[in-house]
Amino acid sequence: MEYGTGCLVCGDEIIYSAAAATFTCFYCGVTKETNASCRMGHFVCDACHNAGACDLIERCCSNTDCVSPVALAMTLMKNPAVKMHGPEHHFLVPAVLLTAFHAATNAGKGTLAERVREARKRADDVKGGFCGFQGACGAAIGAGIFMSIVSGATPLSDRERKLSNLITAECLLAIAENGGARCCKRETLRAIITGAAFVQREFGVDILVDPVPPCCFTNMNRECLRERCGFYPDAREVEMITPIQGAEIQCP
Ligand SMILES: [Zn+2]
Ligand SMILES: [Zn+2]
């Protein structure tokens, strides 16, 4: 579910205190004096609060300490700036994979910010509806953008170009075989999981892939595959309207 009111992270009520205290922004890590946070202690800075989807993704992925691309994607997808469906997911996939890759390889945050910015620029060419109109889901292309950036691929490269096309191909296969109308949440998660497994196999880099929490977006998606989707919550175990609390995600 997305939170239209209250805390952007967990949906809980915002508490206003008379005395300001120092908090760290949940998304971008900036430290500010504030009188407003939720009961869980989430604080969102004004810049992140007012950011559009791609700005928010860029700010968060460049600065977070979260090492789980699934948790990071879920956190960002629950923010109301990221719509149920939309081309921002084409940037979200390479952004969270870059963040996780940098954490797993101890690469610096400075290079990460540059790479996330480059991913955004490239993902901008992958417009909405690519899956149906161009025959290549933008979430899968996002994994290809990620690989192209970390491998330094160009159209003239050999192995780097192969790896970039291969990761996209594997993501597309995973997405296509499941069938169904588009769901940007489902395809984003599938591309992240497939991409992380690819990185493990090809580079021996362990990207943390924790279990995907039960999907909380089904009520917002008219075309939800429900029982046909691997992320659909089992109604016997999960109450659909129960929000996934930020505390469980522990991110960043
Ligand atoms: Zn909160
Ligand atoms: Zn912020």
Residues 173-213 have pLDDT tens digits of 999 999 999 999 999 999 999 999 999 999 999 998 888 88
| pLDDT 10s digits, 116-149 | 999 999 999 999 999 999 999 999 999 999 999 9
What lies within 8 Å, CB to CB, of 141 at 6+ separation is 90, 123, 126, 130, 168
Q: Crossing angle, helix 69-78 and helix 184-203, to 10 degrees?
A: 160
Give the number of other CB atoms < 10 A from CB of residue 9: 24
Give the number of other CB atoms < 10 A from CB of residue 202: 14
Q: Using CA atoms, how far apart are residues 120 and 192, in angstroms rounded to an integer?
A: 16
Ligand 2 centroid to 55 CA: how many Å? 10
SS3 content of the chain, % helix, strand, coil (to 5): 50, 10, 40
**Type of residue found at 110:** G
Q: Per-residue pLDDT for 242 more than 60?
A: no
Could you tell me the end-to-end alpha-carbon distance of the chain, in angstroms, rounded to an integer?
A: 19
Taking a 5 Å cut-off on Cβ, the residues next to ion ligand 1 are: 7, 9-10, 12, 38, 40, 42
Using DSSP, state whether 35 is helix, strand or coil. strand
Q: Using CA atoms, how far apart are residues 130 and 150, in angstroms rounded to an integer?
A: 24
If one compares 110 and 215, the residue with the highest pLDDT of the two is 215
Ligand 2 centroid to 40 CA: how many Å? 17
In a 10 Å sphere around its CB, with 0-12 CB exposed, 13-18 middle and 19+ buried, how is residue 101 labelled?
buried
Ligand 2 centroid to 199 CA: how many Å? 29
Q: What are phi and psi of 108, to 5 degrees?
A: -70, 160
Q: Per-residue pLDDT for 10 more than 90?
A: no
In the numeric block, the tokens 């940037």 are attached to: 91
If one compares 1 and 152, the residue with the highest pLDDT of the two is 152
Give the number of other CB atoms < 10 A from CB of residue 200: 14
Ligand 2 centroid to 43 CA: how many Å? 8
Label residue 237 by pLDDT band (50, 70, 90): low
pTM of the predicted model as reported, rounded to 2 decimal places: 0.90
